[in-house]
């Protein structure tokens, strides 16, 4: 048995304009006969209304007295409880209730705010800037390492008399280039 807007408003302990707003926004639905099923509407009201926007009641809403005919009670499903899971939408895809949607949105907003904060505090830097700095540092290291053979070849030749300084320099240069090429290949896999 359905109720009119004003009767349902008294049942909820709210004004009839609050019920009208809930109907217009789609938070609750009228039955096909134009009345409001209080059981379904209570569940939908709790599920689809922001708890922060709900008025605090001094006492719980008045309970309906069942007519003399037998009322069949349906078992409570998990989806009938406010704040839990989701309900199937028009296309059969689950639509999260208000509380779940709000929690998801707030989680993502917090993550974005953290990233923004860390960027502003210079804890995070753009990837391009890091790659440029790494490239410059790598080039500086490479040039320093490749200058070793020309600097030490004469000293090595002095320790071992009769050896060719140019041959020692080429041998050192070849071995250092092998090591630097392996390092370069390793760094390419990281990017």
* Per-residue confidence band for 180, with pLDDT thresholds at 50, 70 and 90: confident
* Per-residue confidence band for 55, with pLDDT thresholds at 50, 70 and 90: low
Per-residue CA distances from 130 to 11, 47, 127, 135, 138 (Å): 63, 47, 5, 9, 12
Q: Determine whether 18 is exposed, middle or buried from the number of CB atoms within 10 Å of its CB (0-12, 13-18, 19+).
A: middle
Task: Give the separation between CA 12 and CA 6, rounded to whole angstroms.
Answer: 10
Q: How much is the pLDDT for 65?
A: 47
**Range list of β-strands (E), the chain:** 86-88, 94-96
Q: How much is the pLDDT for 166?
A: 82
Integer Rg of the chain from CA: 37
Give mean pLDDT, residues 133-145.
85
SS3 94: strand
183: which 2 tokens?
């390092």
* Per-residue confidence band for 61, with pLDDT thresholds at 50, 70 and 90: low
Task: Give the separation between CA 19 and CA 17, rounded to whole angstroms.
Answer: 5
Given a contact cutoff of 8 angstroms between Cβ atoms, the answer to whether 8 and 36 are in contact is yes
Instruction: Name the residue ranges covered by the structural domains of the chain.
Output: 1-55, 94-124, 127-190
Q: Who wins on pLDDT, 183 or 20? A: 20
pLDDT digits (tens, 9 = 90+) for 18-35: 899 989 988 898 988 889
């Amino acid at each position: 048995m359905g109720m009119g807007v004003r009767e349902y408003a008294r049942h909820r302990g709210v004004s009839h304009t609050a019920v009208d707003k809930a109907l217009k926004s789609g938070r609750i639905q009228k039955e096909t006969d134009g009345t409001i099923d209080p059981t379904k509407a209570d569940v939908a009201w709790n599920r689809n209304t922001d708890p922060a926007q709900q008025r605090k009641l001094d006492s719980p809403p008045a309970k309906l007295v069942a007519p003399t005919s037998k009322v069949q009670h349906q078992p409570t499903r998990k989806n009938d409880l406010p704040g839990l899971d989701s309900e199937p939408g028009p296309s059969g895809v689950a639509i999260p209730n208000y509380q779940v949607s709000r929690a998801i949105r707030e989680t993502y907003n917090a993550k974005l705010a953290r990233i923004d904060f860390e960027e502003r505090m210079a804890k995070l830097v753009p990837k391009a800037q890091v790659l440029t700095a790494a490239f410059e540092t790598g080039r500086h290291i490479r040039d320093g390492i490749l200058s070793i053979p020309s600097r030490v070849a004469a000293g090595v030749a002095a320790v071992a008399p009769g050896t060719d300084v140019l041959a020692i320099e080429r041998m050192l240069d070849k071995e250092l280039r092998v090591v630097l090429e392996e390092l370069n290949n390793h760094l390419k896999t990281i990017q």
